[in-house]
Amino acid sequence: MSIGVFDSGVGGLTVFKSISEKFQQVDMYYIGDTARVPYGNKSMDTVIKYSKELANFLISNFHVDLIVVACNTASSYAIDYLKNNLTIPVIGVVEPGATSAISITKNNKIGVIGTQATIKSNSYANILRALSKNGLNVYQKACPLLVPLVEEGKIDHKVTEIIVKEYLDEIVDEGVDTLILGCTHYPVLKPLIKKIYPQLNLVDSSEAIINYIEKIGINKFEKGIRNIYVTDESSSFEILKNMLIGDIPTFKIDLDSITKD
């Protein structure tokens, strides 16, 4: 089996890395839409359009057997469209993260941080309440500055620590014991968040998604191909890519080649 993974930029590489380490012989293809990042401030219609184009690129060029939407905004806005219009399985990051959070929380107080679009969509709050048999209190917070800080490589930086506290103190004060990192950039900040709030259980969808992939019953014995594609050159992408997954080559594709009908 081959797996196609897409994201608006570099954040989805945390998901790519997790899957790659678990299924080392599976062929994997990743595309980061660096020409149109971020998705978090765009409309639902635009996110669906972009997601359809990226999924079709992976299917048309590499005949992937599974699409992983490694973007919380796209998972919030486009997952139903993709599932209903593609002929192969599609897995997003929202449901795995929500399921994991429910299994971990002890006091049924769960925090969610993400982009403006992810929080506005209420995708996590809706699925948390739908999946939980107990009453949940869900506290959400949009954290738009965290993505550019990660992409600038300011992972363990005083400025980032100040911004994290500015965003998270409010929901931590509500007594949450579990925090969903509702953006695939955020797992890079886990050590920093854990340092500030050691009491929190952090939910990383890039880890939670593994169980969902295993349930599909994939063929684990392919060639182990790893290809990375971007829609525009990005030095920050290269820096974080090298930090997360090493020196896998990056190939630039023309945006026009995936936007044409």
- CA atoms of 20 and 22, how far apart (whole Å): 6
- CA atoms of 188 and 249, how far apart (whole Å): 21
What domain range is 27 assigned to?
Answer: 2-92+208-259
- What pTM does this model have? 0.91
Q: Does 220 have pLDDT greater than 80?
A: no
150 and 168 housed in the same domain: yes
Which H or E run includes 182?
A: strand 178-182
139 and 160 housed in the same domain: yes
51 and 116 housed in the same domain: no
Q: How many CA atoms lie within 13 A of 234 on its CB side?
A: 28
Calculate the average pLDDT of the chain: 93
112 and 191 housed in the same domain: yes
6 and 85 housed in the same domain: yes
65 and 163 housed in the same domain: no
76 and 142 housed in the same domain: no
Per-residue pLDDT reduced to its tens digit, 103-148: 999 999 999 999 999 999 999 999 999 998 888 999 999 999 998 8
Catalytic residue ranges: 71, 183
Mean pLDDT computed over 156-170: 96
Per-residue pLDDT reduced to its tens digit, 165-218: 999 999 999 999 999 999 999 999 999 999 999 999 999 988 889 989 988 877
Residue ending a domain, choose from 179, 205, 231: 205
β-strand pairing of 109-114 with 27-32: unpaired
112 and 196 housed in the same domain: yes
* Domain tally, the chain: 2
154 and 246 housed in the same domain: no
183 and 109 housed in the same domain: yes
101 and 193 housed in the same domain: yes
The pLDDT value given to residue 170 = 96
What percent of the chain clears pLDDT 90, i.e. is strictly above it?
Answer: 76
Q: Does 261 have pLDDT greater than 60?
A: no
The CATH number of the domain where 180 resides is what? 3.40.50.1860
Question: For residue 164, what are its two tokens?
Answer: 């994290």
- CA atoms of 216 and 40, how far apart (whole Å): 29
Residue with structure tokens 């969509």? 121
The pLDDT value given to residue 237 = 86
60 and 145 housed in the same domain: no
